[in-house]
């Protein structure tokens, strides 16, 4: 199984440890992983700001990097959702279509394709799970409180395999953290208020860490936590699933 | 009415400055959202009902011309006078003509977001005619010369103390008395007087049935009935998307509407109007005001399925923290953000961006409007039409240029991180909105790619 590792631009630049954990985890689980060296960004920042027309060359670059893989896996639900919904390449429509159908968010890939039932991981801490909207509502990584459908959660299923981890959910288990791409700067006040409220909801559970499948949400929450001198830390789910004592 | 001239982001920032009030607003509406969840969970067929409602509305919108003609002819057979208004101005003029023809002085109105959309109150006020809003929440905001901040709960942004102050000023209630029963009784006495005196009643329409020519008005206070039954003339105002084909379809919508809106199994009063009673005159004003334009936009026509339950308001994490007035339009919240750019693209270009695209609005919508996808699509339209800030445009153009060139992206990334390490004040200052209330991420020396080349490609 040839897996192309997709590390979104801001993870590449600011959170290399998330890329490393994702790669090591996939390799541990027997995947033949390569990281195409000329990848940049999925194009989402432009598209969500109304400039989808400007992301054409970005799309082209993505297709050039990721054609020919059986699966493409990335540790970010929101970037993966963008690719699934919007990736186009006029010169290589077949390849773009293949990528759209075979691009997976990490936890989705572990549960649905690799069908992982046990993990050799240990993370003896109190952890709060933040359900990121694009992963949850867009990729259906877990059930949603608004819908009257049976409950499930792919990230939770994986976290339950980690030794020593004590998981808790906030009361509003699937409310948005307020990051929202460029929303976080153009609607700064609402964005921060939403983030503060998410943190307060987790804080009532006395967690050591907040985790999730999207670095963007975690980066936003981390920024607020650090500014307020909190002891609560953020950690991407790949780092937990890859950790051992 | 004071409609804010500020952009959504600016008005929201003002609102959030009073953090305890923001928290209270958020929690109050979240409570309503939870009531909605409980009510929806109580029906095993909930998702099926949503699907049916969505299909009925799809079908109706595809055959709207026929259903509107059928409705008009049945209503006329019932003795109702039907008017057609191309826009808000024409809607207001039709009503004004009826008022002047009958030399009416006293008018009561039950809550109608369409008349808010058309600016009827201001129009009549300017002509020296006062209308009294009879929905309690709407009466409160009317006293305060404010617009409703929510389509179902017009005064939800106000606390008991605010209502007490308002009533003290306008109804001369005891100063500082916040007792809800006392205040409600004062409003009841005041409104009772208005109902009895009124010569003309204006109501909205929740559903209009093509098959019968009748229409249905849903209220929790019975104020539409009080007005319509006491007055000599009843004018019902409706946007043309209120149509449903048959009376039997009502069962689907009435089960969804109140559960989605407030978590009630059904509204307290679902009043059916078919014909004027003896000696009464009944009018219906059917309004377009941009709806046919929206119907013609393939990406946005679905927004006309809306039954105005406001479930998308209550679930929206942005609405709950920014308040309805920050949307500066009659219909706020996520649905307003996809309806209003159609009415005025320039004035409402900020609204589709007042969302994180979290998708909760689409999930709660009882008629399955793809609200968050339409928000995304409106952003594309607004940018293409040039209704976007120049700074944003330059920034994103630059970003797209860099991100399409791997070598440049890596150079910029490395240089950027080095600058952040060496000159942190370049970004850690008040010109950076991220930094205002958040720390920047710590820039590592090595990107993932650098690590990969060093550790995996030797």
Q: Please report the domains of chain B, with CATH numbers, ordered by start residue.
A: 43-289 (3.40.50.10420), 403-456 (no CATH)
DSSP class of residue B439? P
Q: Look at A227 and B437 and tell me if their CB atoms are within 8 Å.
A: yes
B317 touches A176 (CB < 8 A): yes
> Residue B268, SS3?
coil
**DSSP string spanning B245-279?**
S-GGGHHHHHHHHHHHHHS-SS-SEEEEE-SPPTT
Q: Give the CA distances from residue B330 to residues A178, B132, B195, B263, B352, in Å, rounded to whole numbers and listed in that order.
A: 25, 18, 25, 23, 15
CA separation for the pair B339, B320 (Å, rounded): 19
Q: Look at A180 and B451 and tell me if their CB atoms are within 8 Å.
A: no
Task: Please determine, for residue A245, whether its predicted confidence score (pLDDT) is greater than 70.
Answer: no
Q: For the segment B274-308, what is each residue's pLDDT rounded down to a tens digit?
A: 999 999 999 999 999 999 999 999 999 999 999 99
Q: For the segment A177-203, what is each residue's pLDDT rounded down to a tens digit?
A: 999 999 999 999 999 999 999 999 999
Task: State the best of B448, B449, B453 to mutate against chain A, taking most chain A CBs within 10 Å.
Answer: B448
Q: Look at B379 and A49 and tell me if their CB atoms are within 8 Å.
A: yes
B313 touches B332 (CB < 8 A): yes
B236 touches B204 (CB < 8 A): yes
Q: Is A232 within 8 Å of chain B by CB?
A: no
Tokens 């009841």 sit at which residue?
B188
- How far apart are the CA of A11 and the nearest CA of chain B, in angstroms? 8
CA separation for the pair A182, A51 (Å, rounded): 12
Fold held by A126-241: Rossmann fold (3.40.50)
Helix, strand and coil content of chain B, in percent to the nearest 5, comes to: 55, 10, 35
Q: Chain B residues with CB inside 8 Å of A223's CB?
A: 434, 438-441
Other beta carbons less than 10 A from residue A91's beta carbon: 9
* Six-digit token string for A182: 């460029």
Q: Look at A48 and B436 and tell me if their CB atoms are within 8 Å.
A: no
Q: Which contiguous run of DSSP H or E holds residue B228?
A: helix B223-230
CA separation for the pair B321, B12 (Å, rounded): 8
Res B4: pLDDT: 58
| Nearest residue to B107 (alpha-carbon basis) of B2, B228, B215 | B228
As beta bridge partners, residue A166 has A126
A28 touches A60 (CB < 8 A): no
Q: For the segment A107-166, what is each residue's pLDDT rounded down to a tens digit?
A: 999 999 999 999 999 999 999 999 999 999 999 999 999 999 899 999 999 999 999 999
Q: Is B412 within 8 Å of chain A by CB?
A: no
Q: Look at A23 and B388 and tell me if their CB atoms are within 8 Å.
A: no
- How far apart are the CA of A194 and the nearest CA of chain B, in angstroms? 7
Distance of CA A122 to the CA centre of its chain: 20
How many CA atoms within 13 Å lie on the side-chain side of B44?
Answer: 0
* Six-digit token string for B400: 């797209």
Interface of B with A in 321-340 (CB under 8 A): 321-322
Distance of CA A142 to the CA centre of its chain: 13
Phi, psi dihedral angles at B268 (to 5 degrees): -60, -40
Q: Which contiguous run of DSSP H or E holds residue B114?
A: helix B113-117
> Residue A87, SS3?
coil
Res A123: pLDDT: 97
Q: Look at A187 and B12 and tell me if their CB atoms are within 8 Å.
A: yes
Q: Is B22 within 8 Å of chain A by CB?
A: yes
**DSSP string spanning B15-59?**
HHHSHHHHHHHHHHHHHHHHHHHHHHHT-TTHHHHHHHHHHHHHH
Q: Look at A176 and B360 and tell me if their CB atoms are within 8 Å.
A: yes
Q: Is B24 within 8 Å of chain A by CB?
A: no
Q: Chain B residues with CB inside 8 Å of A236's CB?
A: none
pLDDT (average), residues B154-164: 95
Long-range contacts made by residues B103-106, C-beta under 8 angstroms, separation at least 24? B104/B129, B104/B199, B104/B200, B104/B233, B105/B129, B105/B199, B106/B194, B106/B197, B106/B198, B106/B199, B106/B200
Q: Which contiguous run of DSSP H or E holds residue B374?
A: helix B371-384
Q: Give the CA distances from residue B457 to residues A35, A176, B385, B406, B449, in Å, rounded to whole numbers and listed in that order.
A: 10, 39, 47, 18, 10
Q: For the segment B101-138, what is each residue's pLDDT rounded down to a tens digit?
A: 999 999 999 989 999 999 999 999 999 999 999 999 99
Q: Is A145 within 8 Å of chain B by CB?
A: yes
- Mean pLDDT for chain A overall: 97
Q: For the segment B40-90, what is each residue's pLDDT rounded down to a tens digit?
A: 999 999 999 999 999 999 999 999 999 999 999 999 999 999 999 999 999
Task: Please determine, for residue B1, whether its predicted confidence score (pLDDT) is greater than 50.
Answer: no
CA separation for the pair A175, B84 (Å, rounded): 43
Task: Please determine, for residue B430, whether its predicted confidence score (pLDDT) is greater than 90.
Answer: no
Q: For the segment B18-28, what is each residue's pLDDT rounded down to a tens digit?
A: 999 999 999 99
Res A1: pLDDT: 87
* Six-digit token string for B164: 């007490």
Res B3: pLDDT: 55
The structure's pTM equals: 0.96
Q: Where are the alpha helices (DSSP H) in chain A?
A: 9-14, 16-28, 44-48, 56-66, 77-86, 93-102, 106-108, 133, 154-159, 183-186, 188-203, 215-227, 237-241
Res B426: pLDDT: 82
CA separation for the pair A109, A99 (Å, rounded): 14
pLDDT (average), residues A17-29: 97
Residues contacting residue B398 through CB under 8 Å, at least 6 positions apart:
none
Q: Is A179 within 8 Å of chain B by CB?
A: yes
Q: Is A50 within 8 Å of chain B by CB?
A: yes
Identify which of B23, B40, B356 has the shortest CB distance to residue A176: B356
Q: Chain A residues with CB inside 8 Å of B321's CB?
A: 190, 193-194, 197
Going by their DSSP bridges, the two strands B269-273 and B214-219 should be labelled as antiparallel
CA separation for the pair B141, B167 (Å, rounded): 11
Closest chain B residue to A179, measured at CA: B356
Closest chain A residue to B399, measured at CA: A46
Q: Is A188 within 8 Å of chain B by CB?
A: yes
Task: Please determine, for residue B458, whether its predicted confidence score (pLDDT) is greater than 70.
Answer: no
Q: For the segment B206-251, what is each residue's pLDDT rounded down to a tens digit?
A: 999 999 999 999 999 999 999 999 999 999 999 999 999 999 999 9
Domain boundaries, chain A: 2-113, 126-241
| Nearest residue to A21 (alpha-carbon basis) of A87, A95, A117, A110 | A110
């Amino acid at each position: 199984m040839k897996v192309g590792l997709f590390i979104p631009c801001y993870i590449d630049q600011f959170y290399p440890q998330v890329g490393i954990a994702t790669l090591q985890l996939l390799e541990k689980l027997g995947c033949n992983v390569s990281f195409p060296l000329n990848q940049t960004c999925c194009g989402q920042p432009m598209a969500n700001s109304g400039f989808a027309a400007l992301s054409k060359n970005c799309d082209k670059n993505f297709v050039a990097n990721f054609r020919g893989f059986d699966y493409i896996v990335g540790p970010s639900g929101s970037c993966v959702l963008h690719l699934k919904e919007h990736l186009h390449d006029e010169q290589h429509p077949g390849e773009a279509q293949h990528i759209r159908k075979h691009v997976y968010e990490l936890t989705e890939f572990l549960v649905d394709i690799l069908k992982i039932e046990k993990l050799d991981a240990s993370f003896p801490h109190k952890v709060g799970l933040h359900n990121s909207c694009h992963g949850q509502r867009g990729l259906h990584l877990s059930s949603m409180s608004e819908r009257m459908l049976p409950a499930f959660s792919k990230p939770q299923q994986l976290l339950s395999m980690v030794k020593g981890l004590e998981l808790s959910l906030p009361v509003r288990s699937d409310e948005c953290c307020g990051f929202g791409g460029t929303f976080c700067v153009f609607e700064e006040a609402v964005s921060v208020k939403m983030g503060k409220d998410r943190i307060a909801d987790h804080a009532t559970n006395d967690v050591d860490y907040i985790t999730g499948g999207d670095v963007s949400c975690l980066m936003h929450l981390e920024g607020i936590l650090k500014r307020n001198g909190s002891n609560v830390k953020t950690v991407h789910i790949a780092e937990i699933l890859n950790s051992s004592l | 009415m004071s409609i804010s001239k500020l952009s959504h982001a600016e008005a929201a920032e003002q609102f959030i400055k009073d953090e305890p009030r923001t928290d209270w607003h958020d929690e109050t509406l979240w409570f309503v959202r939870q009531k909605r969840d409980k009510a929806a969970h109580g029906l095993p067929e909930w998702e099926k009902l949503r699907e049916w409602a969505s299909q009925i509305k799809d079908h109706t919108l595809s055959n709207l011309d026929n259903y509107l003609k059928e409705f008009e002819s049945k209503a006329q057979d019932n003795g109702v006078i039907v008017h057609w208004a191309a826009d808000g101005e024409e809607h207001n003029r039709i009503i004004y003509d009826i008022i002047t023809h009958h030399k009416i002085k006293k008018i009561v109105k039950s809550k109608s977001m369409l008349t808010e959309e058309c600016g009827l109150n201001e129009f009549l006020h300017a002509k020296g005619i006062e209308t009294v809003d009879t929905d309690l929440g709407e009466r409160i905001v009317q006293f305060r010369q404010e617009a409703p901040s929510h389509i179902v709960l017009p005064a939800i942004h106000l606390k008991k103390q605010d209502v007490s102050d308002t009533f003290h000023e306008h109804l001369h209630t005891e100063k500082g008395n916040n007792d809800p029963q006392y205040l409600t009784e004062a409003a009841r006495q005041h409104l009772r007087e208005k109902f009895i005196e009124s010569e003309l009643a204006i109501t909205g329409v929740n559903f209009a049935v093509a098959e019968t020519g009748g229409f249905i008005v849903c209220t929790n206070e019975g104020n539409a009935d009080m007005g319509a039954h006491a007055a000599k003339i009843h004018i019902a105002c409706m946007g043309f998307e209120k149509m449903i084909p048959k009376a039997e379809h009502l069962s689907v919508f009435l089960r969804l509407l109140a559960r989605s809106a407030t978590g009630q199994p059904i509204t307290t009063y679902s009043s059916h109007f078919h014909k004027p009673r003896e000696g009464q005159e009944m009018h219906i004003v059917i309004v377009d005001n941009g709806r046919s334009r929206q119907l013609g936009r393939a990406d946005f026509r679905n927004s006309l399925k809306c039954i105005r339950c406001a479930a998308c308001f209550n679930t929206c994490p942005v609405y709950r923290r920014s308040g309805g007035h920050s949307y500066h339009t009659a219909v706020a919240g996520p649905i307003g953000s996809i309806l209003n750019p159609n009415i005025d693209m320039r004035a409402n270009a900020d609204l589709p961006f007042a969302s994180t695209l979290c998708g909760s609005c689409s999930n709660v919508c009882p008629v399955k409007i793809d609200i968050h996808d339409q928000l995304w699509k409106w952003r594309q339209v607004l940018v293409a039409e040039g209704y976007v800030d120049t700074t944003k445009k330059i920034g994103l153009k630059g970003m797209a240029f860099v991100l399409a060139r791997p070598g440049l992206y890596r150079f910029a990334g490395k240089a950027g991180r080095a600058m952040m390490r060496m000159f942190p004040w370049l970004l850690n200052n008040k010109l950076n909105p991220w930094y205002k209330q958040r720390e920047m991420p710590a820039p590592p020396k090595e990107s993932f790619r650098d690590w990969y080349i060093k550790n995996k490609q030797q």
